[in-house]
Amino acid sequence: MAYIISDEAKDLLKDVKNFCDNEVLEQCKEFDRTGEYPADLFAQAGELGFTSLEIPEEFGGPGLSRVDTAALLEEMARADAGFATVISATGLGLKPVLIAGSDEQKQRAADLLMEGGLAAFCLTEPGAGSDAGSGKTSAVRDGDEYVINGRKCFITNGGHAQFYCVTAMTAKDAGVKGMSMFFVEKDTPGLSFGEHEDKMGIRTSSTCDVVFEDCRVPASAMIGEEGTGFETAMKTLDQARAWVGVLAVGIAQRAMDEAVAYGKERVQFGASILKQQALRFKVADMQIKIETARQMCAYALNLMDAGEPFAKESAIAKVYGSDIANECAAEAVQMFGGYGYIRDYPVEKLIRDAKIFQIFEGTNEIQRVVIANHVIGRI
Amino acid sequence: MKIMVCIKQVPDDSVKIELDESTGKPSVEGVEPIVNAFDTYALEMAARFLETGIEGEITTITMGDENSKSSIKNCLAVGASHGYVLHDDLFEGSDAQGTAYALGCAVRKIARDEGGDFDIVFCGIETSDETSGQTGPMLAESLGYSLVTNVIALEKKDGVLHVKQETEDGYNIVETPMPCVLTAARPNYDPRYPTIKSKMAARKMPIGELSAADIGARSDKTGESASLVKTIELAAPPKRKAGIKINEEDIEEASLKAFSIMTDANVL
Ligand SMILES: Cc1cc2nc3c(=O)[nH]c(=O)nc-3n(C[C@H](O)[C@H](O)[C@H](O)COP(=O)(O)OP(=O)(O)OC[C@H]3O[C@@H](n4cnc5c(N)ncnc54)[C@H](O)[C@@H]3O)c2cc1C
């Protein structure tokens, strides 16, 4: 663990690790198999305050630095990446409110999370993935209300969140300047959910369509000014990416830990396989990547805390963290040999879990577009 | 209702600990210190007891060095409202009786300071490091309180404490007057986890420090020189010999093999 964190966070980290080792890791093995949603586990995590970590102190949050929080999230991802995704997607759903919302909205969001709730961020649509600006969901003003119609897809925490931050077009022909962001609470009439997707990995998280059919919200549910929804969404993702990196590092760390523990015990040719330089070098390479990725996450998060520009660094943390998580997971399976390919052993799951980290919150191709834009600028 | 829970900080018992050949002591370096499991059950039982609508507070105390404060802090995050560390060079090397004497002095002193006797003084049945299981009963003796051991639940009925006491083949329900000393066995639930909030709050709570002089403990009653029990040597349990593997696939053949091994060894 190489995040440099406060004494407070060190204390919390022990508790989080204890909970993750005893509850999350064990229970999620079975939930990964069945694809069932571990509702009780998330209720407990909510009560323990895991979903409130990113709430600022003035709204009742714990007031930890981002790197402190990262250390806790990494531990959760080490236990189960799907579990950590649910926690982190709650942070993602909170961010638009913190970035552009009113104090009232911030307090409301904070209160819902502190009661143990989850949040969700609804940007992606069937026709608008990487090209998030091409969303078709609309919000039409009607007196003191907006009427939202449309379909969002692949929404983490869909159906389980207490509130949804949703992008919708308030001016159809104005392009991304016609997009606004809304705060939609769980029981709003006209809000419904699709089937829980049957996923390759992070199977303990729920992903589904979020559907709006004449879904009426008060005009006060708009987050920020009309027409700023796309900008808020992009600012949200700029921040969120570093957190994706943090979770990916947790997977990579788990992969290395498992590989080392197994490798010490596994005897071939009369000795532990970790006496073989070929495997020792694999471990060294994993460690180099993990530590580098972690420090990139820490750097991006420190920039955020310091109020410095961070978008490029956050994108790098996401791309690099998720790429190395996939590399480390694959190498861990390799070091387990045939056993690595068998479901009773813990590493094949890591490959399945790691893959999504190169896809969501902006694919790694899109991240490279972002990074290149920052480096090259206008030509 | 005032409850005192006595806790001990012990090395994490989920880690396999070896005897250090050179010192003759268990090598616990790098092993995370934790609150003794039975003490956490005592605290959880006390917390649940009060949560049934009984007004009261829990105080925790430990006899240990400076770093046992972290264990007290953990208790403050899961139900205790006050915490004390009893620390003095004089206490070094105490046996169970010396420890119970010192704890007894401390319980009385804190009761005086906090304005009222403790109704219940709770301990774990034993600690995972020394497993003597004597401190609780000796503490009852030292305080002159009644004692119920192996407690797995408690309830207050018509002003009387009803205590569920685990036995070899079931349980007893025991009525006891208060003040009393109870020793906790393992109930059928796990202690709660601290929340982020309760842990952050616990970190800011003051922890009282008490010395031998503060509690009026006498040097002839506690510490190494007063110890009646002396540890002469610690020995690791002998390593179990490797067993015999029976590789026959057929059940009948495997049973025959097992029988022949047992007859050869003259155990049948
Ligand atoms: C499990 C899961 C959870 C998710 N959670 C959420 C959530 O909570 N909220 C939310 O809003 N969304 C969520 N998503 C959606 C996710 O962010 C999108 O799937 C992702 O942004 C990619 O969009 P797409 O699937 O439409 O792929 P497409 O955009 O169709 O991309 C297909 C391929 O083309 C490449 N590509 C596209 N455009 C370019 C380009 N300009 N240059 C180079 N390559 C390009 C992509 O990189 C990719 O390889 C989630 C998705 C999944 C699977």
Query: Looking at the structure, do residues B157 and B68 belong to the same domain, yes or no?
Result: yes
A123 Cβ inside 6 Å of ligand 1: yes
Query: Is some CB atom of chain A closer than 8 A to the CB atom of B203?
Result: yes
Query: Looking at the structure, do residues B132 and B203 belong to the same domain, yes or no?
Result: yes
Class of domain A231-376 as given by CATH: mainly alpha
Residue type present at position B198: S
Per-residue pLDDT tens digits for B29-73: 889 899 999 999 999 999 999 999 999 999 999 999 888 999 999
Query: Looking at the structure, do residues B23 and B148 belong to the same domain, yes or no?
Result: yes
Per-residue pLDDT tens digits for A22-78: 999 999 999 999 999 999 999 999 999 999 999 999 999 999 999 999 999 999 999
Q: How far apart are the first and last CA of chain B?
A: 60
8 Å CB contact of A15 and B200: no
Q: What is the reported pLDDT for B131?
A: 85
State the CATH number of the domain containing residue B10. Answer: 3.40.50.620
Residue B162 within a domain: yes
The answer to whether the beta carbons of residues B195 and A47 sit under 8 Å apart is: yes
Query: Looking at the structure, do residues B128 and B261 belong to the same domain, yes or no?
Result: no
- Residues of B (64-103) whose Cβ lies below 8 Å from A: 70, 73, 77
Would the pLDDT of A358 be above 80?
yes
Q: What is the reported pLDDT for B235?
A: 87
Would the pLDDT of A102 be above 80?
yes
Backbone angles phi, psi at A182, to 5 degrees: -125, 150
Q: What is the reported pLDDT for A222?
A: 98
Query: Looking at the structure, do residues B266 and B177 belong to the same domain, yes or no?
Result: no
Question: For chain A, where do the domains classified as CATH 2.40.110.10 start and end?
Answer: 120-227
Interface mutation vs chain A, best among B192, B197, B203, B207, most A CBs within 10 Å: B197
DSSP symbols for A331-373: HHHHHHGGGGGSTTSSSHHHHHHHHGGGTSSS-HHHHHHHHHH
Give chain B's domain count.
Answer: 2
Q: What is the reported pLDDT for A157?
A: 98
Q: Which 8-state DSSP code applies to residue A265? A: H
Query: Looking at the structure, do residues B9 and B81 belong to the same domain, yes or no?
Result: yes
Nearest to B138 by CA among B2, B6, B47: B6
Return the residue matching tokens 């961010």.
A95
**What ipTM does this complex have?**
0.90
**Alpha-carbon distances, residue B133 vs A306, B11, B84, B106 (angstroms):** 54, 17, 22, 20
What chain B residue is nearest to A72 in terms of C-alpha separation?
A: B196
Question: For chain A, where do the domains classified as CATH 1.20.140.10 start and end?
Answer: 231-376
Q: What is the reported pLDDT for B66?
A: 85
CA–centroid distance, residue A158 to ligand 1 (Å): 17
The whole-model pTM stands at 0.91
Q: What is the reported pLDDT for B247?
A: 84
B160-167 and B146-157 beta bridge pairing: antiparallel
Per-residue pLDDT tens digits for A235-258: 999 999 999 999 999 999 999 999
The answer to whether the beta carbons of residues A191 and A215 sit under 8 Å apart is: yes
Measured distance CA(B85)–CA(A2) in Å, rounded: 32
String of b and e for A285-322 (b: at least 16 CB within 10 Å)? ebeebbeebbebbbbbbbbbeeeeebbbbbbbbbbbbb
Residues of chain B with pLDDT below 50 are: none
Return the residue matching tokens 């929404």.
A155
Kindly report whether the peptide bond that precedes residue B179 is cis, defined as omega within 30 degrees of 0.
Answer: yes
Query: Looking at the structure, do residues B133 and B257 belong to the same domain, yes or no?
Result: no
Residue B135 within a domain: yes
What would the CATH number be for the domain defined by A120-227? 2.40.110.10
Average pLDDT value for chain A: 97
A358 Cβ inside 6 Å of ligand 1: no
Would the pLDDT of A1 be above 60?
no
Residue B233 within a domain: no
**Alpha-carbon distances, residue B114 vs A136, B63, B74, B111 (angstroms):** 66, 19, 22, 5
Strand partners, B59: B4, B82
Query: Is some CB atom of chain A closer than 8 A to the CB atom of B263?
Result: no
Residue type present at position A252: A
B57-63 and B82-86 beta bridge pairing: parallel
Q: What is the reported pLDDT for A260?
A: 98
Measured distance CA(B74)–CA(B60) in Å, rounded: 10
Rg (CA), chain B: 22
User: Which CATH architecture describes the domain A7-118?
Assistant: Orthogonal Bundle (1.10)
Per-residue pLDDT tens digits for A212-236: 999 999 999 999 999 999 999 999 9
Query: Looking at the structure, do residues B78 and B23 belong to the same domain, yes or no?
Result: yes
8 Å CB contact of B194 and A62: no
**Alpha-carbon distances, residue A181 vs A6, A112, A217 (angstroms):** 35, 19, 12
Locate A220 and state its tokens. Answer: 């006060």
The answer to whether the beta carbons of residues A53 and A72 sit under 8 Å apart is: yes
Query: Looking at the structure, do residues B220 and B132 belong to the same domain, yes or no?
Result: yes
Count of pairs with CB atoms under 8 A, one residue in A, one in B: 33
Residue B12 within a domain: yes
Question: For chain A, where do the domains classified as CATH 1.10.540.10 start and end?
Answer: 7-118
Q: Which 8-state DSSP code applies to residue B209? A: E
Nearest to B94 by CA among B86, B102, B104: B102
Instruction: Using an 8 Å CB-CB cutoff, list residues of chain A that contact chain B.
Output: 8, 11-12, 14-15, 18-19, 44, 47-50, 52-53, 62
Nearest to A11 among B32, B195, B199 (CB): B199
Residue B164 within a domain: yes
B207-210 and A145-156 beta bridge pairing: unpaired
Query: Looking at the structure, do residues B61 and B155 belong to the same domain, yes or no?
Result: yes
Measured distance CA(A355)–CA(A106) in Å, rounded: 33
Locate B85 and state its tokens. Answer: 């560390």
Residue type present at position B44: E
Residues of the domain holding B86: 2-226
Compute the average pLDDT of residues A314-319.
98
**Helix, strand or coil, per DSSP, at residue A123:** coil
A361 Cβ inside 6 Å of ligand 1: yes
Chain B residues whose beta carbon lies within 8 Å of the beta carbon of residue A44: 193
How close B9 comes to chain A (CA, Å)?
Answer: 16
Q: What is the reported pLDDT for B13?
A: 85
Q: Which of A94, A134, A153, A154 to mutate to test the pocket of ligand 1 (most atoms within 8 A of CB)?
A: A154
Q: Which 8-state DSSP code applies to residue B14? A: T
